[in-house]
Structure 1
Amino acid sequence: MLVAFSVSPLGGESEGVAEAVAQAVRVVRESGLPNETNAMFTLVEGEWDEVMAVVKKAAEVVQATAPRVSLVLKADIRPGWTGQLTAKVERLEQHLPTDEGH
């Protein structure tokens, strides 16, 4: 399964948002699961229970810094498929023009 999620503190001081989010990203990176982070979401790939455990732990570390937490989650549940964190993008790129004039 692929999960794209965003977790952020609500309430408290706004200057602490980046630090709290960094702590959540650290949880994901230390999980050992395939992942990537962009400006809006962190993506993580793995089995249902292991991915959800990482999301839960990431939310908990943010919750430790704020009275309230926002969690946005989108999942692509496709049993038996792995490596989709990169493979989905590679399939998309095959349909886009390249710099070679296509």
Structure 2
Amino acid sequence: MVLLEFSMTPSTREESKSPYVARILDVIDKSGLSYQLTPMGTIIEGDWAEVMAVVTDCYRALEVDCPRISAQIKIDYRAGPNSRMKSKMEAVETILGRKLST
């Protein structure tokens, strides 16, 4: 199972990137994959082909009117079932003995 964390941003003159982030999140949400939005990016979980297809779809959603796009991508693969986003957090919370703000 793959955990992929990424951010994708067009180089525009506008200070706020929220409209572009919303466009990308719409693609991610409609993909049906598990995801977690963070202030600095988004984590999606699935098999390799699924998560890479979502990244490609996000790029395609921006390229229509964005002549330059920057992307940062981190990938963690581990054989086994999904729900790693949840299980990784639960493991740390168990060690600490309390719930964390996530």
Identity %: 34
Match of 2:96 in 1: 96
Q: What SS does the aligned partner of 1:55 have?
A: helix
Match of 1:57 in 2: 57
Length-normalised TM-score, structure 1: 0.87
Query: In terms of Rg, which structure is larger?
Result: 1
Match of 2:20 in 1: 20
Q: CA RMSD in A?
A: 1.6
- In the alignment, structure 1 segments of 5+ residues that lack a partner are none
Contact 1:5/1:41 (8 A) holds in 2? yes
| Partner Cα distance (2:15, 2:64) in 1 | 16
Match of 2:9 in 1: 8
Q: What SS does the aligned partner of 1:94 have?
A: helix
Q: How many residues align?
A: 98
Contact 1:21/1:62 (8 A) holds in 2? no
Contact 1:20/1:65 (8 A) holds in 2? no
- In the alignment, structure 2 segments of 5+ residues that lack a partner are none
Q: What SS does the aligned partner of 1:14 have?
A: coil
Misfit runs of 4+, over 3 Å: none
Shift of 1:97: 4.5
Shift of 1:8: 0.6
